[in-house]
Amino acid sequence: MYRLDIQHLSKSYGGGVQALRAVNLRVSNGMFGLLGPNGAGKSTLMRILATLQEPDSGRVLFDGSNIHEHPHALRSRLGYLPQDFGVYPRTSALQLLDHLALLKGLRNRKERKEQVLALLQQTNLYEARHRAVSTFSGGMRQRFGIAQALLGNPSLIIADEPTAGLDPEERNRFHGLLSEIGEQVVVLLSTHIVEDVQDLCPQMAVLAGGRVILQGRPTALAADLNGRVWRKTVTKAALEHYRRTLPVISTRMTGGLLQLYVLGDDCPGEGFEAFYPGLEEVYFSALFGAQRAGKEVGVC
Ligand SMILES: Nc1ncnc2c1ncn2[C@@H]1O[C@H](COP(=O)(O)OP(=O)(O)OP(=O)(O)O)[C@@H](O)[C@H]1O
């Protein structure tokens, strides 16, 4: 059993931006979802965990070892899938993966070749292995990203917004791949897409304004909210009135109709119906609660 221990982590940038504020998280084997709106601090946290950035204060232990005191030890056990690689060389997928495997310390040529070919099979890129990565579609690039993240059998995998821009079929395929990695390692999945966490993660946290504002099991968090969410179909013209007078956590268009979701122990008024909350309501009610408490949470 591996354990990632994030303790009192803070990080600020020039211009007074406080990206992380005393973040504490304890993550063990399996998939852990980190949800948060744009600007919440997710990428900053992922980069610190990947030892690409240093925190201002606090520390991170993986398997009991401080990752910033022993960055090389962590890197040999880390699979990092960044939000964007930035450059996609004209090198073939096979050559690039082989090169990255070498950089990761897989020196034995035969073992390296076996692992590279197995990962290309696993990520469904075997047929395209001689094609330049620069010609790959978004979904293929993401799958290539997973392949390189899995090189060297990492015990900690960090995936930063991995499904952004994927079509539903590619997203499903990607989910299948991630879940195959299984319970054997720690997988941290950062995203602003609630369904990614709902579909994949037995544990999760919500990050907003650099703070952890909620943490737990998605099913338990949704059960805790049960009986406190109310829904009503409203006109666009009436929306402002409801926003001013009720704790509106979110709005959603369903079949062309505008639906309003309101938090409350009792029915907020005529036309409202009790709504069985899912993770989306958990997420929006957490952001609403943090906003109400006067904490900066960024924009959705
Ligand atoms: N290099 C940097 N210099 C200055 N400010 C930065 C830098 N990187 C991030 N920030 C700021 O820090 C805050 C957190 O950014 P971060 O990218 O970590 O959030 P995020 O949750 O990953 O958002 P997104 O989903 O939009 O990438 C934001 O206000 C962002 O503008």
Specify the CATH architecture of the domain 3-221: 3-Layer(aba) Sandwich (3.40)
| DSSP code, position 173 | H
Model confidence band, residue 296 (pLDDT cutoffs 50, 70, 90): low
**Among 43, 189, 190, 207, residue to substitute to test ligand 1 (most atoms within 8 Å of Cβ):** 43
Say whether pLDDT at 172 is over 60. yes
Q: 174-231: per-residue pLDDT in tens? A: 788 777 776 788 999 998 889 889 888 999 999 999 999 999 999 999 999 999 999 9
Which pLDDT score, from 0 to 100, does residue 214 have?
Answer: 96
Q: 248-261: per-residue pLDDT in tens? A: 999 999 889 999 99
Does the beta carbon of 39 lie inside 6 Å of ligand 1? yes
Mean pLDDT of the chain, nearest integer: 90
The pTM of this model reads 0.89
Helix (H) / strand (E) element for 220: namely helix 218-225
Q: Which residue has the higher pLDDT, 59 or 138?
A: 59
In whole angstroms, what is the distance from residue 63 CA to residue 45 CA?
Answer: 18
DSSP 112-145: HHHHHHHHHHHTT-STTTTSBGGG--HHHHHHHH
- Helices 138-149 and 93-103: crossing angle, nearest 10°? 30
Ligand 1 atom 16: the closest Cα is on which residue?
41
Say whether pLDDT at 66 is over 90. yes
Ligand 1 atom 30: the closest Cα is on which residue?
39
Question: Which range has the worst mean pLDDT, 59-68, 143-152, 228-237?
Answer: 143-152
Pairing of strands 30-35, 203-208: parallel
List the domain boundaries for the chain: 3-221, 222-292
Q: 101-152: per-residue pLDDT in tens? A: 998 888 999 999 999 999 999 888 999 999 999 899 888 888 888 899 999 9
Query: What ipTM was reported for this prediction?
Result: 0.96
* Phi, psi of 40, deg, nearest 5: -65, -25
